[in-house]
Amino acid sequence: MPDAPLTPDAPPTPDAPRAADASTARAVIDHAGVSVADLEKSERFYRDVLGFTTAEDRFAFPEHDLRGVVLANPQGARVELFERKGSAPTGPHHQIESTRRQGWFQFALAVPDIAGTFAAVVAAGAEPSLAPTTAPDGVSLVAFVRDPDGNLVEFLQRPARPDPPG
């Protein structure tokens, strides 16, 4: 029997998942958190190479040997960098092989010119992982670089949406 569509007004069937309430249905991702080995080195990379130029918050939890910074780019995307003494790198850092472990392994930045962005960030010191290519959806373009700790950063160029009529 096919699953019944979930709507805010219809109660879910006993075996169906519950629909998100209005507060989460309208949520957007605010930021990505990344554990790094060297906070200053990573902050320079995210600022100088990826354009996260505004430090919105700096914090420290000395009892945990943990400190960090929240960076934002001009479009409002945020990344939170964490440095904790004794942290260990994860791996592998590859757009396919990273799926062998569970959990977050990348974050994506939407860009209007993927070829130009990729060339600029690689020229500025990012380690290339995958040059611009067609994404699995067959219409978008995708590329990957690694930050100084090997964490994957994806660039995604979706096709332009046509203007609505009228």
Euclidean distance between CA atoms 60 and 39, whole angstroms = 12
pTM of the model: 0.76
Euclidean distance between CA atoms 105 and 96, whole angstroms = 10
Confidence of residue 5 (pLDDT cuts 50, 70, 90): very low
Among 33-37, 130-134, 157-161, the range of highest mean pLDDT:
130-134
CATH topology of domain 25-88: 2,3-Dihydroxybiphenyl 1,2-Dioxygenase; domain 1 (3.10.180)
Q: What is the mean pLDDT of residues 45-62?
A: 95
Closest CA to 97 of 144, 138, 64: 144
CATH class of 89-166: alpha beta
Q: DSSP 3-state assignment of 129?
A: strand
Q: Residue 4: is its pLDDT beyond 60?
A: no
92 vs 124, more confident: 124
